[in-house]
Structure 1
């Protein structure tokens, strides 16, 4: 792109300025910006319910069968498809470990029940033009309803994506759970689009498209694109332009390249221009202070005093007592407490709902459904807690940046806040309780025991008073046996309910323990990230001010002839800095 090339040229010119003016600190930051421009990474998450054609969509986009497609088995782990010089694949483990595998083996690791080896993802690299700009397509497992663990994991991935393609089939209109997912996805990601697949298989797909457009217009406006992965694959093999246009992928590819790639490139270009403008502010302030001291010897002392005062303020910015630093420390402490309290409150609600459900039935009958409900419910609450953490952490970053800006009186780029991925995942519900009902033989033994005891008691009582009960004793024994059996069943139901409640509490404790650790680790990362970023900026300001102070102090000691010669050099330096500023401003437009 032309704008990216201009931004790279401006960054290279700024790097030469850093070398000439002895600013290695700023050069390190500009180098990182240049690397991001050279190798941008744009994550596009492909999400949707099970069996809606997500994997087929990714395969059709890249023109190769990289994502496993199966009519009976669903995708179990996400597949990351990105650019590479040659086809290759690797397994991704926690945390950050990679294991190369043959591309032909991708299928058995991606599909459920393949080999039992649980990995966090599979990465596939392909030499494709559509991926060359840094596009990374992420094929995720099916949503399975908004409250499911898969949905929670997908929404966690959505929060860190540059864009989302939500896939729904042309067999039916959008469901309530799909609309709910899209609403939450829009709140987490700036660019979301809905793709209707399998238009070649369902003749009434246009009617479905109309219904979906109404749903989206009412609940969450976004682009809607009907496509056929089958027609696209045939068009790629036959190099048929007309068939490719009929497949609908022309508009989808344009959306990916222009809307997603263009917006990401614009963001990177503006960030690069902002970094160069910040350097120009520092260099311009340095040479302008020296020029003021050279042009007016009587004002030199005033300039030195002003720069000395700035030095004190910059030194204060670096201290632990700085307002931005105190805001950061206090904010992280408060946020840690609030996140913990929010999670505890959510878990208490879940436990109360589970207790109510347990009391309403027999765990021997409802436990399988209870397990699935519990895992989904906790996944949903963890996701809500994660969204709360994400929003509050972003607000904290903005507050810290505002306080630093007020103290430094310079516009500084604020860093993005780290997003936690483990926060939205839950462990499998492994219950260890005895839910077996009484067998017939045991019920018979309990009934006989109660009947025998009851009949014996009344027979003994009759003999004591000289009355023979006869058949009446047998009837009394049967009544007592039935009552004893009923009481034993109630006792066992209460026992199963108690075990079920204990199992749920153990599960919630385990999930809360892991979630609390994840949230605390995330907040520590956020704190370090913000602290290091603004401490680095304070060091840059300190260095720039020290150079300006040294130049002004030196100018005050020069003779008239030396000042005149140096004044010409300083004017030339200011002109160079102004040229760099103009080029950066042109890139930023």
Structure 2
């Protein structure tokens, strides 16, 4: 057994030992997911035949390319058909086809089921079934073809779409098992940024890559597009060969056995490239694929270890001592923050005082505007009692609304300072302003309103009648009439009535002006007295908030001081543990870096890089 095991080790390719060491490293670093993925990759690499994944976006001609390569319509194609699950095409002595369902992981290989299907419709059947079932893995197709018999396994991968598309996830999972990749893009446009990004990711997963430009039969300027693709690949630093082809010409040439048309299709060059890069030295292709897979896994192991090492190194004795000093600085910072939040509190209260005063002034001015509008038409002598009740109610409402708003703003200020500066502070009781009363709105003094008595009306009417009688009588004497006649008497009566009417209107305007002035004086008195009481209340609440926050800030400073003491007590004990962990992580990093060096030094024959 020992002799046989030694022989196996001698005969085993170098990449197998490196891959096994990588799997053991994944298990040692508790990355069972990576180890399982590498075990699957190991099993794939040991299988006969090299897996070439045909990859690309929807509508680029992937499936038709596979059909043209093997000269058989095994992959579903059409304008309304998109590959959903992979189609695996390998060599078989007799044509066979099956839909594979279940869990395809190696650990659960017994759960896989294969259902036979017609070879010409197996791909379409698998795609339809995948739309209603989640356990459809892929479809398998076996054909007696020389290219496949040489060791080539073609895989038509699902189309790449949006990052959230489930097909994209399936396509990327297929790439994980690829030995070589054909990235398919049509000749209607140059390589997009998404395709270049995909190529960059593919090169990390699988270094053997070819770019196949399809549909050159329908694009007259396909040579310019292919050349632009080569320039874009060169600028991106991607060493990839570009092969223009036409699947339609290839299939037509196969039907008519037209060798010239087949050469024009570009497939002869594509098959040559596949033989050169994949089939000529499959061991080198396998070695490159194993090296890329191992390197990705090792990098995923190194990154968290390096981050942990940096963290541990940053918390050595010096770092722990810095933490202790930082705790002391935290105490000083809390002291500085105390001055900062006190300034903030003062600024907030000053802003609030200005806002409250403006609100009070705005509301009282609106009341005065209503008073002006009211006494433009109303007679104070008739409606004063009703107006007094309205004025009292309006000013009372102003006092209540203003005080409620003041309370809400103070509660908001307290919550903001407690949340940003003193997180453990409690909210103060919001009852300090509830005693603000509306007594200032209950002492509206009735102005001295001048009344227009009947006696005054009689004297005003006589004065106006005399003037009218005299002017009309003098005018009628010119016509030979006496001074007192019916015309002069009528004119006197009319002038007297007009004098009474004008005097009554003038006295109404004076009463309305007096009422407005009285209301203005009363509102100003309310503004002054209530504003003074509001400012006094704000000062009381300001002092209460300041004292409460100062108390909590003192408690925080004491807690920070005690925390600094605890850090100092734990400093010596923690230093030994950190140093031990740092040494352990360093050894792990050194082993992984050495393994990565072996991967980079893995021998790959020249001329096999695409």
Band of TM-score, shorter chain: 0.3 to 0.5
TM-score, normalised relative to structure 1: 0.41
TM-score, scaled to structure 2: 0.40
Structure number with greater Rg is: 2
